Amino acid sequence: MRKLLLTSSTLVAAASISSYALADVSVTGGFEWRYTSTSSGIAATDGDSMGTDNTVTIKFTNKTDSGLTLTGVYDMDADSAGSDMDESYLQIGGGFGTVRLGLKDSINESFGIGEHDLIDEDLSGAPSSSSIVTTAGESGSTDANKLSYITPSMGGFQAGYSIMDSGTATQSTDQTAMGASYTMPINGGSVNIRYNKANSDGVASAETESSNYGAKLVMGAASVIVAHGESTIGVGGDQGDNRSADGISISYNLGGGVKISASTMEATDDADKTAAGQAEKYTANIAEVSYTVAPGLSAKVTYLDYDYKRGNELLTAVDDSGSKTQLTISASF
């Protein structure tokens, strides 16, 4: 009799636990292959190359009796032989808004806007050793551990705030970020206005401040984005940076799975000027055609024309101008 009671109690407890832990689980993947042909004045980057960008995301979702929506997300880089984690966080949503806990983008990423948002493939021709920005969008966002809050949408207005604490490390990298957006309908479309700002601590007086704002207009099959971004870095091992960028882009859905897009952007760093007054400068013009072959499968051809002036940047960066043409095949599951 005692054995029967124990067995019954175990079954009841297991059923009770499973009822609390019951969640919807989804596993999704994004797989991308690309072939890039680069024409550059730098021998190390001139030529052709292939690459991949593959990810796997596991998401758990559960709704409590009190009305809270709990979401756990684990996002990993599937290209690596190891298990490189991109994001891992818990999200709690309700009438009060949304709270995010864990490894997730800074809030300025959630409220950022740039001309590149209408281009599927972000191509850049700036040397890896340069410090110039390559879009007019937000900057300074990281996937480090943080606490974030986003308000519910109130008449088209929404705002958010995030805090990243580096802990007791001597060289602090704490960060605070905020953002806001307002969306309003217009005849046959909508306008979305966004603003964000971030402040990151640094060493050797290298505190970083960045801000970004812009607007997106959607009218039927056409979309237009106009954006501006600024960022400053205090004097550290280099001269510091005082960067600003302006960009504009447009895309149009032709129907039948075909979309065309184009963008132009110019960025300058006035802190890296030569004695003759030449600042570090990067300009980029992009054109793209994308085609949805079938649901979950797309092909894109992206063309970039760029020009980079080193100014007084580190000697490891050199002037360059050229172009890139990239074929991308993407699949989502």
pLDDT tens-digit series, residues 53-79: 999 999 999 999 999 999 999 999 877
Check residue 208 and give its pLDDT: 87
Compute the average pLDDT of residues 205-210: 79
**Residue 13 within any structural domain of the chain:** no
CATH code: domain of residue 185: 2.40.160.10
Model pTM? 0.87
**Residue 33 within any structural domain of the chain:** yes
- For the chain, what is the domain count? 1
pLDDT category of residue 301 using cuts at 50, 70 and 90: very high
Q: What is the pLDDT of residues 110-166, one digit of tens each?
A: 999 999 999 999 999 998 888 899 999 998 888 889 999 999 999 999 999 999 987
**Residue with tokens 């806001």, as numbered in its chain:** 180
**Residue 10 within any structural domain of the chain:** no
143 close to 86: Cβ distance less than 8 angstroms: yes
Sorted by sequence, the CB contacts under 8 Å of residue 60 that are 6+ apart come out as: 23, 24, 25, 70, 71, 72, 73
Closest among 148, 144, 198 to 167, alpha carbons compared: 144
Beta bridge partners of 301: 289, 327
Check whether 17 has a pLDDT greater than 70.
no
Q: For the beta carbon of residue 195, count every other beta carbon within 10 angstroms.
A: 19
Closest among 105, 132, 135 to 119, alpha carbons compared: 135
**Residue 17 within any structural domain of the chain:** no
In the chain, the percentage of residues whose pLDDT exceeds 90 is 69
Distance between CA 267 and CA 210 in Å, rounded? 14
pLDDT category of residue 18 using cuts at 50, 70 and 90: very low
Q: Bigger pLDDT: 240 or 281? A: 281
CA 193 to chain centre: 18
179 close to 108: Cβ distance less than 8 angstroms: yes
Phi-psi region of 256 (alpha: psi -120 to 50; beta: other; left: phi over 0): left
**Residue 9 within any structural domain of the chain:** no
135 close to 113: Cβ distance less than 8 angstroms: no
Check residue 276 and give its pLDDT: 79
Q: What per-residue string of b and e applies to 32-51 under the rule 16 or more CB within 10 Å gives b?
A: bebebebebeeeebeeeeee
Q: Which domain holds residue 110?
A: 24-332
**Residue 7 within any structural domain of the chain:** no
* Burial degree of 278 (CB within 10 A; 0-12, 13-18, 19+): middle
**Residue 5 within any structural domain of the chain:** no
**Residue 3 within any structural domain of the chain:** no
Check residue 202 and give its pLDDT: 66
